[in-house]
Amino acid sequence: MPAALSDGLRRSALEERHRWPLWLPVALGAGMALYFAAPVEPPPWAGWAALALFAALAAAGLRDHGIWMRAGLGIAAALSLGFAVAKLQEMRVAAPVLAKPMITHLTGRVAGLDWGSKGLRVILDQVRSGRLPDPPARARILIQKGGEQLRVGQGVGLTAQLMPPPGPATPGDNDFGRAAFFAGIGATGFSFGAAQPTPLAHPPGPWGRLTTWVEDLRARMTQRIRAQLPKSEGAIATAIITGERGGIDPEDEAALRDAGLAHVLAIAGLHMALVGAGLFWLVRAVLAAIPALALNYPIKKWAAAVSILAAGFYIVISGASASATRAFVMLAMMLLAILLDRPALSMRSLGLAAVILLLLRPVSITEPGFQMSFAAVASLVAVAEWEQRRVRLVPRGWLYRHIRGIAMTSLVASLATLPFAMFYFGRATHYAVLGNLLAMPLMGLVTMPSAALSVAAMPFGLEHAPLQLMGWSIDGMLRLGRFVSGLPGAVTVTPAFPLVALVSITLGGLWILLWRLNWRWWGFVPVAAGIVLALMAPRPDMLIASDARTMALRGPDGLLHFPHSPKDRFAATRWLLRDGDGRDWKDAVGGMSLSCDGLGCVAKQDGLLIALSSRPEALDTDCDQADIVVSAAPLTSCPKPRLALGAQQIADGGGYAIAFSPLRAASVNQQRGMRPWVMAQPIQ
């Protein structure tokens, strides 16, 4: 590095040393990310060793070293702590995961209820079954009939088809199995018939009775809301109040998502801000109208304390989901700053909120909700800091400020979350600013106030009127969502790109947001590098699901095609989405040159002969003539092809992605690694 450049960077860093602590949460998250990226599960001693290393580095950093040494020790200590906390959390929550699908009778305690369009999803704990000597801690089961009488805390017995929690559809896709593992869910499935009441194996203790009471309260509130409001309006109302999202019409959900309004469905920053800030303003206004209080007491702090309590109640009745917890901690940090006479909106408050959330739930660092919410809020705080330093020459009216605030907030948040939306969901919405400009006044002035009124009126049985008003406002938001999402070019479906590209863009973005001087613009270098990596990302030529019968080939038109109707339709849908293909899977069946008979199909692609064998009788011929053999039957010996995959190998690998030039195959479980949430060993 040239001396002049090195000196310039050193001077800039020293001028901004008051911002150095903002990088500690980044290092903490990076340490957790290193744990989750490990290809093999670290041994238990590694977690304790990392914790000891953190203690040693932290102690060394407190000594009278030079400023650069203390900074390096602080970053290294945060990295070590992040790795240690993630590993120790895995050790704390570790529980059996179902190894293979089975049908069994089981009993358990209802720990959670979630109504959806297909029935009632029940979370069971205290799981017992004669066929499961080492049962999972929790199981999530769909009950299609007879779930109306179930209550949280009740013991039930049922016969169910159980399966291991599903993994990614392709290498690099989002891993539900990992999230389920850290939620204690070791099996999913569906029941045959209704659940029957049974005695509890272990009566709950005081904490169990409290959580049962809270969950039962949420379930009863959900039922009362949906009894007043029909279809999507009721489902969206319960999503806003109690956090239960099941039952929303897929077309309505898609309209809100494509209009940039998906954030209204998950209790997060918007909802907490409207509840907390709205109540803060109301309480302060009421107290300010009483001169004896306003002139002699800190009514601003009183309003902040009331807002924290109200937000705490909201998070309890909403189920304390990960996104709601994030929003509550961030709001609480801002309100506590008011109580302590600190700036209410600052990067340090945001960093402290990130530290608290990561220490409570390390797996959050891998989840899109955490990444998107902090990216959006960090960007908004950075813009707010810039606005504070900007000189305003002409005062503006309240209407201009209101419209500009919504537009600026929507634009900044949309740009900040765009890379994550493209990486995880394969979509880029283009009219989010318009959607929020139209819908947010309705959300802030009608939907959330009527939701608060309905909750306050429920103990007295008077929730009908505010819920009807809430339903009217939700219907208005849905109409606006359909209008915006129906505009030409509202959405672009984008192909998947590698994780390294997202990491590069994220680090560049953090460099831009966390610094204030001109050297911040160096962050555009890793951002540009990430964009180049994303644009150059190769796409697989062939995809195979874990059932060995659902597969897709890339045709001469550059699009994926299914030789026949896919059995695993979820995987098929994910493949098309991650390929940047907006077609429905039904439109992708056929459309390429295949030679098929009762034993399988043969295709010629990039100079390779590909045999898709559906029956064992075809294997002798296919193994002699084809370059690639994919068999839905067990494959014992097939040495001649350059690549041969049998049903068991495909199932153990969790599915495959294959590139033809050069020929290489990557399994899903190979990418996931040898981790506790991956039952099969990765195929090399």
Q: Which residues of 77-93 are buried (b: 16+ CB within 10 A; e: fewer)?
A: bbbbbbbbbbbbbbeee
Q: Are 343 and 337 in contact (CB under 8 A)?
A: yes
* Dihedral sign computed on CA atoms, order 54, 60, 66, 69: negative
pLDDT tens for 90-131 read 999 988 888 888 899 999 888 887 776 677 888 998 889 888
pLDDT bucket at 390, cuts 50 / 70 / 90:
low
Q: Which string of DSSP letters, residue by residue, matches 180-226?
A: HHHTTEEEEEEESS--EE---SS---HHHHHHHHHHHHHHHHHHHHH
213 vs 38, higher pLDDT: 38
- Do 376 and 513 contact (CB within 8 A), yes or no? no
pLDDT at 506: 95
Query: Given a cut of 50, is residue 621 above it in pLDDT?
Result: yes
* Distance separating alpha carbons of residues 129 and 519, to the nearest angstrom: 61
How, if at all, do strands 427-429 and 491-493 pair? antiparallel
**Total count of residues recorded for the chain:** 684
> Structure tokens of 113?
């209820």
In angstroms, the CA 341 to CA 300 distance is: 10
Q: Measured between alpha carbons, how far is 437 from 353 in angstroms, rounded to an integer?
A: 28
Q: What is the pLDDT of residue 683?
A: 37
Q: How confident is the model at residue 337 (pLDDT cuts 50, 70, 90)?
A: confident
Please tell me the CATH code under which domain 102-203 is placed. Answer: 2.40.50.140
Higher-scoring residue by pLDDT: 504, 261: 504
What CA–CA distance (Å, rounded) separates 115 from 152? 13
Gap between the Cα atoms of 25 and 38, Å rounded:
20
Say how far residue 514 (Cα) sits from the centre of its chain.
24
pLDDT tens figures, 531-572: 999 999 889 999 999 888 898 999 888 899 998 888 989 999
pLDDT confidence tier of residue 682, bands split at 50, 70 and 90:
very low
Per-residue model confidence (pLDDT) at position 92: 92
Helix axes 368-389, 347-360, angle to 10 degrees: 170
Neighbouring C-alpha atoms within 13 Å toward the C-beta of 644: 18
User: Are residues 419 and 504 in contact, defined by beta-carbon separation less than 8 angstroms?
Assistant: no
Taking the C-alpha atoms of residue 365 and residue 86, their distance in angstroms, rounded to an integer, is 10
CB proximity list for 166: less than 8 A, separation 6 or greater: 176, 177, 188, 570
Judge whether 49 and 90 are in contact, CB under 8 Å: no
Show the tokens assigned to 348.
């340090």
Among the ranges 52-66, 407-421, 429-443, 573-587, which has the highest mean pLDDT value? 573-587
637 vs 40, higher pLDDT: 40
- Give the Cα separation of 237 and 247 in Å (integer): 11
Quote the crossing angle between the two packed helices 398-425 and 432-442, to the nearest 10°: 120
| Mean pLDDT within 61-69 | 79
Q: Which pLDDT does position 41 carry in this prediction? A: 94
The whole-model pTM stands at 0.86
Mean pLDDT of 227-246: 84
Cα separation, 544 vs 449, whole angstroms: 49
Tens digit of each residue's pLDDT (9 = 90 or more) over 489-537: 888 888 989 999 999 999 999 999 999 888 899 999 999 999 999 999 8
pLDDT score at 397: 64
By the 8 A CB rule, do 126 and 106 touch?
A: no
pLDDT score at 400: 66
What is the pLDDT, as a whole number, of residue 70? Answer: 87
Q: 632-681, pLDDT tens digit by residue?
A: 888 877 877 888 888 888 988 889 999 988 889 999 998 898 999 987 54
554/550 Cα distance (integer angstroms): 14
Whether residue 187 has pLDDT greater than 50: yes
pLDDT band, residue 684 (cuts 50/70/90): very low
The per-residue pLDDT of the chain, averaged, comes to 85
**662 prior amide bond cis, ω within 30:** yes
**Distance (Å, whole) CA 559 – CA 478:** 33
Res. 56: pLDDT tops 50: yes
Tokens of 616: 């064992």
Residue 595, SS3 per DSSP: strand
Whether the Cβ atoms of residue 134 and residue 93 lie closer than 8 Å to each other: no
Give the model's confidence band at 614: pLDDT under 50 very low, under 70 low, under 90 confident, else very high: confident
Contact present, 158 and 191 (Cβ < 8 Å): yes
Give the SS3 label for residue 55.
Answer: helix
H/E element holding 145? none
Cβ pair 665, 642 in contact under 8 A = no
Instruction: Give mean pLDDT, residues 416-426.
Output: 89
Q: 218-253 burial, b for 16+ CB within 10 Å, e for fewer?
A: bbebbbbbbebbeebbbbbbbbbbbbbbbbbeeebb
Q: What is the rounded CA–CA span in Å between residue 384 and residue 429?
A: 24
Rg (C-alpha) for the chain, rounded Å, is 27
- Kindly report the number of other CB atoms within 10 A of residue 593's CB atom: 11
Q: Which two tokens stand for residue 466?
A: 């505010």
Q: Which two tokens stand for residue 271?
A: 């909802």
Residue found under tokens 């990039």: 606
Chain position carrying tokens 């318009």? 434
Handedness of CA 84, 88, 90, 91 (dihedral sign): positive
Yes or no: say if 592 and 555 are a contact pair by the CB < 8 Å rule.
Answer: yes
Average pLDDT rounded to a whole number, residues 31-51: 94
CA-wise closest residue to 679 among 188, 42, 164: 164
- The most distant pair of C-alpha atoms in the chain lies apart, rounded to whole Å, by 94
CA-to-CA dists, residue 583 to 169, 494, 551, 559, angstroms: 17, 12, 16, 10
**CB-side neighbour CA atoms (13 Å) of 511:** 18
Cα separation, 485 vs 654, in Å, equals 35
The residue type of 421 is: A
pLDDT number for residue 202? 75
How confident is residue 35, by pLDDT bands cut at 50, 70 and 90?
Answer: very high
The predicted model gives 354-379 an average pLDDT of 89
| Strand locations in 399-508 (E) | 427-429, 491-493
For 123-180, the pLDDT digits (tens) are 998 889 888 888 888 999 998 887 777 888 888 989 999 999 988 989 888 888 998 9
Closest CA to 554 of 612, 593, 611: 593
For tokens 């390096």, the residue is: 72
pLDDT score recorded for residue 345: 61
Q: Could you report the per-residue pLDDT of 280-312, keeping only the tens digit for each? A: 888 888 888 888 887 788 888 888 888 888 888
Query: For residue 394, is pLDDT > 60?
Result: no
What are the helix and strand counts (H, E) for the chain?
Answer: 24, 18
